[in-house]
Amino acid sequence: MPPKWWHMLGLIFLPAFFCLEGCGLKNRTQTDGNPIILWVGTSSYKKADLERFFDSRLSEFRDSGAADDVKSALLDSFIEEKLLLSKAEELKIKPDPKALDSMRNKLFSNGGGSSNDLKRDKELERSMLDSLKVQQYLRDQLFKNLSVSPEECEIYYKEHIQDFVRNDVVHVCEILVDSLDQAQKIQALLKTNRNRNFKELARQYSRAPAAADGGDLGMFQRGELPDEFEKAIFPLAPGTISQIVRTQYGYHTFLLEEKVLAHQQKYSEVENQIQEKLLLGRQREALERELAALTSQIKVQLDRDKLDFKYVGTRLASRGGTSQ
């Protein structure tokens, strides 16, 4: 799994840094069905390169009304990645072969074809190599000397202590069945055994995804579960079961295994969380500075007419790119 800072290249964490306005590119654009659409420095990228990047990130996207906004932000992320790639290649960074094999195997396990098929897909192979170069550059160069001291974490905790009050937390198990009659029979069996057979019955009868784990759903804070579940679960005492809850999915019975009441979290409980938050902030700042510097050094050109969406990233107009 990529480190958390890698997601700073995504839509949530990073602003984009590029203006995409006004330069004549027509004489440089291919006329086939896969034209060159973007130049970052001396590297060119075709429409298919963008489509591959978009497709891997839009599989769950359904709001057509926001397509221009989402694709514009994705285009900005694509350019950011290519600016960082230019720097990585300038430094002659070579990806670790083991990391490349690991990425291939992960794609293979997710249904991406055989490992040999992936090796023969030159575009996919290049995309993986480029991603690894950027990751390695961020990890080994840009972020290498960034750190957060324990003293800084303690100061942050004291200054934001109100942010570390934890709501009631419950540890919940579930049995989900299709009929009320079956749910009532299971509740009778639980009552006979004082709920000690809950996990056994979950494995035997529940059709919920967690059935194999004895129905164990894990820990939840108040506010994280649907209202009808919270009303049934939070009043329970540890070791007791809920009344039957009917939803569109079937009939649910919950066991409350553990309850931790709302409390002020101690520094020791949140030290790692604070350290990670502060470090990610520093990495984000370093990344923004680097992208700003690269933007001033590397020319970015976009043939806007070849896009299948309206680029609406007007807030990038002060950053110095060009577009046709």
- What domains does the chain contain, in order, with CATH numbers? 4-147+270-323 (1.10.4030), 168-261 (3.10.50.40)
**C-alpha to C-alpha distance for 128 and 124, rounded to whole angstroms:** 6
**C-alpha to C-alpha distance for 259 and 257, rounded to whole angstroms:** 7
pLDDT for residue 11: 36
pLDDT for residue 288: 93
Could you please report the per-residue DSSP string of 254-282?
Answer: EEEEEEE--EEPPHHHHHHHHHHHHHHHH
135-166 pLDDT, tens digit per residue, is: 999 999 999 999 999 999 999 999 999 999 98
Cα angle value 125/95/8 (rounded, 5°): 85
Cα angle value 240/242/245 (rounded, 5°): 165
The whole-angstrom distance between residue 204's C-alpha and the CA centroid of its chain comes to 34
Helix axes 150-159, 267-297, angle to 10 degrees: 110
**C-alpha to C-alpha distance for 27 and 205, rounded to whole angstroms:** 68
pLDDT for residue 125: 80
Contact 190, 253 (CB under 8 A): yes
The model carries a pTM of 0.64
Tokens of 82: 């290519």
Residue positions counted in the chain? 324
Residues 6+ apart with CB under 8 A from 7: 13
Is residue 124 packed enough to be buried (19+ CB in 10 Å), middle (13-18) or exposed (0-12)? middle
pLDDT for residue 113: 54
255-310 pLDDT, tens digit per residue, is: 999 999 999 999 999 999 999 999 999 999 999 999 999 988 998 888 888 888 88
**C-alpha to C-alpha distance for 115 and 24, rounded to whole angstroms:** 42
Note down pLDDT in tens along the chain; length 324 residues: 455 555 554 433 333 333 333 333 333 444 467 889 899 999 999 888 888 888 867 765 656 667 888 888 888 889 999 999 999 999 999 988 888 888 878 776 765 555 555 555 677 788 889 989 999 999 999 999 999 999 999 999 999 999 999 889 999 999 999 999 999 999 999 999 999 999 999 999 999 999 999 999 999 999 999 999 999 999 999 999 999 999 999 999 999 999 999 999 999 999 999 999 999 999 999 999 999 999 889 988 888 888 888 887 643 443 444 555
pLDDT for residue 310: 87
